[in-house]
Amino acid sequence: MVIGSAMSLQFGSAVAATLFPRAGALGVVALRLVFSALLMLAVCRPRLRGHSRTDWAAVAGLGVALGTMNTLFYQAIDRIPLGAAVTLELLGPLVLSVVGSRRLLSLLWAGLALAGVYLLGGTGSGFGGMNLAGAAFALAAGAMWVAYILFNSRTGARFPKADGLALAMVPAALLSAPLGVASSGRALLDPVTLGLGAAVAVLSSGVPYTLELFALRRLPAATFALLMSLMPVAAASAGFLVLGQRLQTPELVAIALVVVASMGAVRTPPAPRPRAP
């Protein structure tokens, strides 16, 4: 289920990239988040009453993180290959894991990740060849991924099932819709664009979130996080099969280094906090 979720999400991103010539990156983000919000609300039917201001603040924070993360990520894949973008984005959660561990072994994982990034940038289609702005957008999306993880944890503790996520999709859609309309205008109303936008929403939100929800009921959180580290591999596969993006051997090695670093960081338990005297 976790691997299926990763493949669905990344193939959805690849399909979204094929829509950029029609509606632009901002327009496609708007379509995805608007359709995703409608889909999640219809499936989850979250309860609106009985929540505190703190609950709604968590939902708003998660929505802003979702909207910003997706906007930045789509700006990245509009400029650099999908596999490279997801590899750079993964550095955000990786840094969170390394900092949270507080163990010397975590420095090894950080070093592997940096080696992967250096190798990725040193290839012919690396940072100099792919686009510096695209790499910056991917790294910024990784930072927002950290915010998404933190707010998702808070929201999940306050709302049952996926209700908090469904509600958070609304501010995410409201945040992206004006940008999409201003950028793409009437192009968003094209029937083919609307149909593909709905397909992107299903592939990138509906299927992954459902599979992850069921997977988390069967897998320990650490195992789930370990499998999610394979996201760059799924992205590279989707980029190759859908977009024809061929990665050179050094880039594949760079992706492998970041994946191994992420797995190692997830598997390294946090150091015990010193007891107060």
The domain locations on the chain are 2-267
pLDDT for res 169: 93
* Tokens standing for residue 152: 């998702």
Residue length, the chain?
277
* Tokens standing for residue 248: 């050179």
Amino acid making up residue 265: A
pTM: 0.85
pLDDT for res 124: 46
- Helical H segments across the chain, by residue range: 2-44, 53-77, 82-101, 105-122, 127-130, 132-158, 163-184, 191-201, 207-216, 221-228, 231-243, 249-267
pLDDT for res 129: 58
Q: For all residues of the chain together, what is the average pLDDT?
A: 85
pLDDT for res 275: 57
End-to-end CA distance of the chain: 46
Report the C-alpha gap between 19 and 27 in whole angstroms: 9
What is the average pLDDT across 136-151? Answer: 90
pLDDT at 125 over 50: no
Burial, 25: exposed, middle or buried (Cβ in 10 Å; 0-12, 13-18, 19+)? Answer: buried
